[in-house]
Amino acid sequence: MAKNAWEKYDEKGIQEIFNFNEGYKKFISKCKTERECVVESIKIAEEHGFKNLEDVINSNETLKTGDKVYANNMGKGLALFVIGKEKMEKGLKILGAHIDSPRLDLKQNPLYEDADLALLDTHYYGGIKKYQWVTLPLALHGVVVKKDGTKINVVVGEDESDPVVGISDLLIHLAADQMDKKAGKVVEGEDLNVLIGSMPLKDEEKDAVKANILRILKEKYNFEEDDFLSAEIEVVPAGNARDYGLDRSMIMGYGQDDRVCAYTSLLALTEIKEAQDKTCVCLLVDKEEVGSIGATGMQSKFFENVVAEVMDRVGDYSEIKLRRCLTNSKMLSSDVSAAFDPNYPSVMEKKNTAFFGKGIVFNKYTGARGKGGCNDANAEYIAELRAMMEKHNVSFQTAELGKVDQGGGGTIAYILAQYNMEVIDCGVALQNMHAPWEVASKVDVFETKNGYVAFLKEA
Ligand code: MN
Ligand code: MN
């Protein structure tokens, strides 16, 4: 079994790990929606000299070796490039992660009043254990787009002075029937209603509590009930990511699947100060948790189109060159893995499981029921990556998602593999995956970033 990665570091090294994770904690505390991730990632990228590809195209500029550009996909996805020395048809080095996370989305007509309480109806997004989302402080993050196109950003519940919202659970005293239910039915999807008010508007006859909430929305945010129709508001755990453990060796935070890989991929790309042989790419996508479909999911033609645009700007585009570029590419599909949990050892097989503190995790395959639906990375590619990690002194481990036939999961790996490129899943191991508060090891976050840098720097 791999050595514990903490042991590689002296005091100074440990300080460096902790410092890196401070940036990461800030990122996930601030970025709780895919849109917020894109805004913050663009900010980080621009600080490191990346330009907007759209501006490059509009001003008919060209791109050359060493140039840095990004393309924004509808504010929910991002592709960033550092142009390499070789022709792009020789292939790209791609780090790809997703920036959507499990949560509760407000329905289009969410607001109603019942028993002098105002509530918001939700439809959950991604795979969640519904019972985990009750009796927690929750926040509202999102946008409301008015008919004239004005976009209102909403964030309620993060500032210390903000109110929080939440979903109730039944008191144990009256839960006799509920406690006999299966866990999947204890709290049902349609009952994930967010309580947002209880004070009536004075002199209002009907639905006075709701009327008061509408008054507040109008006064504070300048939108009306109809505007929920064209809104995207996500209900997420309120509060910042925090150090976890008395030794502060871990981080507890919301949305670490997969923002831990998104952040480390982005930061790895910003560490590429000079052009490498290959063009280096960081791809941040939406919709992974619901099957990667839609214009902002990995299955969209966005990435392929953007690669074509970049090749065009470099002055070397043709259909056949684009195809060669994609097929000659190598990718790390950067996504989280399940960390061994001593509370639940029965679902893991210890020789092929990820552990906290053992570094970046490579998953040759994921899938379920006989590897169903998985991208099974080639042995030749894994050999290359092993050599790379060793050369750069990056701690790594290999794992699969639990015991055979225990369950399973998927990532964006298979979608990029359709271009016939080499792809492997790899990333950070988490405890509590998909729960409101997920846990990661700081040294794993650091090793993963270093693993990504090594991948980008080695030909
Ligand atoms: Mn994921
Ligand atoms: Mn997931």
Q: Does residue 92 carry a pLDDT above 80? A: yes
Distance 412 CA to ligand 1 centre (A): 9
Nearest to 128 by CA among 147, 150, 144, 104: 104
Q: Tell me the average pLDDT across 93-120.
A: 98
* Percentage with pLDDT > 90 across the chain: 94
Q: Does residue 120 carry a pLDDT above 90? A: yes
Q: What are phi and psi of 187, to 5 degrees?
A: -125, 125
Q: Tell me the average pLDDT across 314-343.
A: 97
All residues at 6 or more sequence positions from 331 whose CB lies less than 8 Å from its CB, including other chains: 93, 94, 95, 96, 413, 416, 421, 422, 423, 424
Distance 420 CA to ligand 1 centre (A): 22
Distance 199 CA to ligand 2 centre (A): 38
Cis peptide leading into residue 376 (ω within 30°): no
What pLDDT is stored for residue 1 in this prediction?
63
- End-to-end CA distance of the chain: give it in Å, rounded: 28
Ligand nearest to the CA of 411: 1
Distance 260 CA to ligand 1 centre (A): 10
Distance 411 CA to ligand 2 centre (A): 8
Going by pLDDT thresholds of 50, 70 and 90, the confidence category of residue 182 is: very high
Q: Does residue 269 carry a pLDDT above 90? A: yes
Whether 433 and 365 have beta carbons less than 8 Å apart is answered as: no
Identity at 416, one-letter amino acid code:
L
Distance 150 CA to ligand 2 centre (A): 32
Q: Tell me the average pLDDT across 402-414.
A: 85
Distance 148 CA to ligand 2 centre (A): 35
What pLDDT is stored for residue 410 in this prediction?
80
Distance 261 CA to ligand 1 centre (A): 9
Q: Does residue 243 carry a pLDDT above 70? A: yes
CA distance 165 to 221: 17
Q: Does residue 293 carry a pLDDT above 80? A: yes
Distance 287 CA to ligand 2 centre (A): 10
Q: What are phi and psi of 351, to 5 degrees?
A: -70, -20
Beta strand segments in 151-219, E: 151-156, 194-197
Distance 436 CA to ligand 1 centre (A): 14
Place of tokens 């980008």: 456
State the number of CA atoms in the 13 A half-sphere of 144 facing the CB.
20
- Average pLDDT of the chain? 96
Q: What are phi and psi of 89, to 5 degrees?
A: -65, -15
Q: Does residue 151 carry a pLDDT above 70? A: yes
Q: Does residue 2 carry a pLDDT above 80? A: no
| pLDDT tens profile 276-287 | 999 999 999 999
Distance 343 CA to ligand 2 centre (A): 21
Q: Does residue 459 carry a pLDDT above 80? A: no
Q: Does residue 309 carry a pLDDT above 70? A: yes
CA distance 397 to 448: 11
What pLDDT is stored for residue 11 in this prediction?
98
Distance 127 CA to ligand 2 centre (A): 7
Distance 323 CA to ligand 1 centre (A): 27
Place of tokens 């995207």: 232
92-98/330-334 β-pairing: parallel
Per DSSP, what are the bridge partners of residue 234? 105, 141
Structure-block tokens of residue 160: 């210390």
Q: Which of 18-32, 352-366, 393-407 has the lowest mean pLDDT?
A: 393-407
Q: Does residue 244 carry a pLDDT above 80? A: yes
Q: What are the CA-CA distances from residue 171 to residues 25, 175, 191 (Å)?
A: 34, 6, 15
CA distance 68 to 282: 11
Distance 409 CA to ligand 1 centre (A): 9
Place of tokens 């299966």: 182
Distance 101 CA to ligand 2 centre (A): 7
Distance 200 CA to ligand 2 centre (A): 40
Whether 381 and 416 have beta carbons less than 8 Å apart is answered as: no
Distance 210 CA to ligand 1 centre (A): 37
Distance 427 CA to ligand 2 centre (A): 12
Distance 258 CA to ligand 1 centre (A): 5
371/57: higher pLDDT: 57
Helix (H, G, I), strand (E, B) or coil at 425: strand
Distance 256 CA to ligand 2 centre (A): 9
State the number of CA atoms in the 13 A half-sphere of 399 facing the CB.
29
Helix (H, G, I), strand (E, B) or coil at 92: strand
Ligand nearest to the CA of 428: 1
Whether 254 and 101 have beta carbons less than 8 Å apart is answered as: yes
Whether 285 and 298 have beta carbons less than 8 Å apart is answered as: yes
Going by pLDDT thresholds of 50, 70 and 90, the confidence category of residue 66 is: very high
Distance 99 CA to ligand 2 centre (A): 10
Distance 258 CA to ligand 2 centre (A): 7
| Sheet containing 103-114, strands listed edge to edge, beginning at the edge strand earlier in sequence | 151-156, 138-145, 231-237, 103-114, 117-125, 194-197
Distance 163 CA to ligand 1 centre (A): 30
Going by pLDDT thresholds of 50, 70 and 90, the confidence category of residue 373 is: confident
What pLDDT is stored for residue 14 in this prediction?
98
Q: Tell me the average pLDDT across 8-22.
A: 98
What pLDDT is stored for residue 139 in this prediction?
98
Can you say whether residue 295 is alpha, beta or left, with left for phi > 0 and alpha for psi between -120 and 50 degrees? alpha
Q: What is the DSSP string of 64-91?
A: -TT-EEEEEETTTEEEEEE--SS-GGG-
Distance 80 CA to ligand 1 centre (A): 20
Q: Does residue 204 carry a pLDDT above 80? A: yes
Q: Does residue 180 carry a pLDDT above 70? A: yes
Distance 354 CA to ligand 1 centre (A): 15
Q: What are phi and psi of 221, to 5 degrees?
A: -115, -5
CA distance 457 to 248: 31
Distance 289 CA to ligand 2 centre (A): 5
